[in-house]
Amino acid sequence: MLNCPRAPPGAEDGAPDRSRVSSQAIIDFEFGWPPTSAAGVIPRVETRISIARGAGDVFAYVTTPALWHTWHPATASVHDVPNRPLVTGETMRERINAAGRRFDAIWTVLACEAPQLWVIATATDNGNARIVYRVTATGDGCEFHRTLEFRSRHYPWRAFDGNVTRWILDRQSTRALANLKAVLERS
């Protein structure tokens, strides 16, 4: 089973010791999520799927960003990342094609509780996003639950967040999970 320690020593030189701080505290206070906004509700896309593989296998696969291109249609490429699951404090750079936009995002792992929970967040010129992966063992494999919360930074995109952009991202996320299921169940 994957162990989710903090990033290796030296990866966060000068950072305070967060080993005794809860995952939620890291998410809320250190990274500043959710973003402050007078716009109200932050749009959310939730998708889930049953996969006939063990929770540990699924968790290790989805938390290895170098593999995202094999299942997520928005991932054009991932750079600056090892070919293994990432742990709390580590980062990666993803080239994203989503909702008619192409951009780079530097994601930071905010929480890693293998094999059940993995949380990442990014803040780009286009906006902020947080993704939560939850994996729950079942009798015949596991259920993978992916939650995406996002907020565009500028108009007119922000005006579309709660409707058109959410609809596009929901369809893309549904396709991603179907791809993930196919990849993992065939290997």
Q: Which domains does the chain have, with CATH numbers?
A: 44-186 (3.30.530.20)
Q: What is the pLDDT of residue 81?
A: 92
Q: What long-range pairs does 95-100 form, CB within 8 A, spacing at least 24?
A: 97/73, 98/74, 98/168, 98/169, 98/172, 99/164, 99/165, 99/168, 99/169, 99/172, 100/168
Peptide bond into 65 cis (omega under 30): no
Q: What is the pLDDT of residue 13?
A: 41
Question: Cα–Cα distance between 142 and 144 in angstroms, integer?
Answer: 6
Q: What is the pLDDT of residue 30?
A: 52
| Cα dihedral 103, 148, 73, 118 in deg (nearest 10) | 100
Q: What is the pLDDT of residue 112?
A: 95
Per-residue pLDDT tens digits of the chain, which is 187 residues long? 455 655 544 444 434 344 444 444 445 545 555 555 555 678 899 999 999 999 999 999 999 999 999 999 999 999 989 999 999 999 999 999 877 778 999 999 999 999 999 999 999 888 899 999 999 999 999 999 999 998 888 788 778 787 888 888 899 999 999 999 999 999 7
Q: How many CB atoms lie within 10 A of CB 83?
A: 9
Question: Cα–Cα distance between 10 and 15 in angstroms, integer?
Answer: 9
